Amino acid sequence: MITTRQTIADALTTVDGLTGYAKRPDVLGEGVGYALVQQVDRGPGQAFQTTWRVFVLLSGDEYAALDQLDDFAVKVPAALHEVLFVDSITPYAITTDAGEFFGFQLIARSE
């Protein structure tokens, strides 16, 4: 299977409480997930390996976001396992027009 932003979005949408998008939506909020290409590296032979940054937005309430992170840090990599190999998960805070949201970024690889 060739991994695309759409296949990642579809996998994210299988997680209860998340909606995956192939591109960053205009309006960001709780339960939004999307992926960006970080880099593409030459692998063996003619193969290429893509490194992705997958973003998941959690609640704007810090304590609720901590609980969501505990849950999603297990469920999101499990949902992505058919399309990506997840290397790391990093929590972060993002400021939007709707206020501050907490979330996490996954660094993941595909061929």
Confidence at 99, pLDDT banded by 50, 70, 90: confident
Query: Rounded to 5 degrees, what angle do the CA atoms 19, 109, 53 make?
Result: 50
Confidence at 5, pLDDT banded by 50, 70, 90: very high
Q: How many angstroms separate the CA atoms of 29 and 17, rounded?
A: 12
Give the lowest-confidence range in 27-36, 41-50, 87-96.
Answer: 41-50
Q: How many angstroms separate the CA atoms of 33 and 16, rounded?
A: 12
- Determine what percent of the chain is predicted with pLDDT higher than 90: 72
- Inform me whether the pLDDT recorded for 95 exceeds 90: no
Q: Which residue has the tokens 């501050």?
A: 100
- Inform me whether the pLDDT recorded for 67 exceeds 90: yes
In this prediction, residue 1 carries a pLDDT of 61
- Inform me whether the pLDDT recorded for 8 exceeds 90: yes
In this prediction, residue 90 carries a pLDDT of 95
AA letter at 103: G
Domains in the chain, please, with CATH? 5-24+31-106 (3.30.980)
